[in-house]
Structure 1
């Protein structure tokens, strides 16, 4: 007799919700194909042996102990937070062949578009010109372009070249810019195949008119861009932070912008939300965005589609292909933490 029992998936997607990441159609498909058990992310073990013994998937990446992970049917943990979390024994998962995957790549395109917007706004003084116009102090024509410049034909540096860096490169391709990339985790050939120049961090910092920082936070790079880095940049260069604030000494960044040496824009901060009196709120030469670059409803819904596609593949005995898999060699270096927005 054919077994018609639906595979069981534990739902613990915090800080997301199933309604956020699945469209109505995708949510209906999820519940049709799978038995969904909602769980307290802080107490997965409390589901009991019967549920844990049948669970094939966990949607989310809740804290898990080695004891809880003694789940015989578990095939994959589908992280929908977007960053791999340091909250479970990855070695146990790798030893058992359990896939840990993340949907974070959905944010690459929208965040890259925000980065391009930042660069254009800084290059052409769009934000300050708008404020001046509102206040009746606008400068017309060439008088309003004393510090304006073009991205076209400029020199651009990118720090990090994962999904976000590649999406950014695609957007910048029409500007005929020279693009240098520093990413110590990638071989030179991959950078060259993507149409960018492999470069040292020093070359990226000292030879760029625009610098985009899209590197993930690891145990090796926390705060690695500090006062010396900003001092080495060209005067008037634009520094655009899109990944995580922890890669930057934020006080040093504020000082570099405050001195007039560089201009900057950021979508991320050392603490979120920032205190009302934080100095960056009134900092001239700095464009601010409240960690919203990737947080579009259409983008969140793509997460659910990715999860369904990969669950279908694994149901058929195939590896996940749509989400990005955690790698044994690099996951131990990641030090990401949950965030409230995207």
Structure 2
């Protein structure tokens, strides 16, 4: 198949192992965009392109040039608002993203964060290095077990399901999920209890925020509903910062009401003088939970799998497909590696 490879801001070396890249180039006609004059590049190569690997703008004019196009695969792994999705749906062009590659790495980080908040691992390490440690019971006054606890999820996509799969060893007392895009019966079949957002916040000791950002859920977790959380409960933010009102979280955390861990922030990199850096009862990770070489190279593997499916006239199975009903409501930021 004729393939345009334009993964910017990622690189081919990041998302393909040497073996995967050989597989791609040995079995397909791959044209690599070097980033010099993209407009001229796309004008020249789109008419013969069958697969576009990248996240370039694909509005009506470019799609009109791409008469042979079968699929656009966003290797950044988000669905961005730079594609004429309706034309793609009408023409049967698959719009895909291998977003599931980050689910397990981020889930493991989320579980580690929950453990550290519950047992004070990170905070006691800091106290020890400062010579302020407390031994035995006196060092565990605010500690609690994950085992037998009540867990809540805000969102239950790939990331939520990957994290849920890690919990059985902790024998949860309950796992409640708020996800308005999934029917209750579907959630029940997956082994969780569907619940309102208020119920998740009120009845969980550990709340994992794993929802994608959409047109409807910016600052979904605000001062009003976050105040419903139990005293000393833990909020772990793993998906997108915009789902949470950071000012509201800062007030609750600063007062000692809840514990908070996050891998994402409203603005990245976080300013050196940002007050969030001095908050107590917190655990911070600089948006690194999914950034593993193994996860990035899984992008290439899944892309190649679905290219093979498309080449055989079969539906893609390894990447997530853009859905007509939801894709225009997604609001993920493009990645920025500057």
| Residue 49 (structure 1) shift | 4.7
1:330 Cα deviation (Å)? 0.5
Task: Give 1:1-342 correspondences, 5 Å limit.
Answer: 7-39=1-33, 44-47=38-41, 49-70=43-64, 71-177=66-172, 178-340=174-336
Secondary structure of the 2:159 match is helix
Instruction: Give the deviation of 1:175 after TM superposition.
Output: 1.0
- The verdict on how the C-alpha distance between 1:49 and 1:139 changes in structure 2, with shifts beyond 3 A counting, is closer
Deviation at 1:39, TM superposition (A): 2.4
The answer to which of 128-137 and 297-306 deviates more is: 128-137
CA displacement at 1:48 relative to structure 2:
5.2
By how many angstroms is 1:14 displaced? 1.9
- Farther off after superposition, 58-67 or 210-219: 58-67
**Residue by residue, what CA displacement relative to the aligned partner does 1:297-320 show, whole Å, maximum 9, x if unpaired?**
011111100000100111111111
Deviation string 1:282-338 (CA, Å, 9 cap, x unpaired) is 211110000000000011111100000100111111111110101000001111121
Structure 2 unaligned blocks of 5 or more: none
Q: Choose 33-42 or 62-71, whichever is displaced more.
A: 33-42
Q: 1:187 to 1:304 in 2, by over 3 A?
A: same
Structure 2 CA distance for aligned equivalents of residues 100 and 184 of structure 1: 23
Gapped regions of structure 1 (runs ≥ 5): 1-6
CA distance in 2, matches of 1:194, 1:65: 38
TM-score normalised according to structure 2 size: 0.96
Cα distance, 1:41 vs. partner? 6.7
Residues 193, 41 of structure 1: alpha-carbon distance in 2 compared, 3 angstrom cutoff: farther
Distance 1:240 1:41 in 2: 38
Corresponding residue SS for 2:248? helix
Stretch moving more, 203-212 or 59-68: 59-68
C-alpha spacing 1:43/1:189, structure 2 compared with 1 (3 Å): farther
Q: How many angstroms apart in 2 are the aligned matches of 1:122 and 1:12?
A: 41
Q: Count the aligned residue pairs.
A: 335
What CA RMSD, in Å, does the superposition of the two structures yield over aligned residues? Answer: 1.3
Normalising by the residue count of structure 1, what TM-score does the alignment of the two structures yield?
0.95
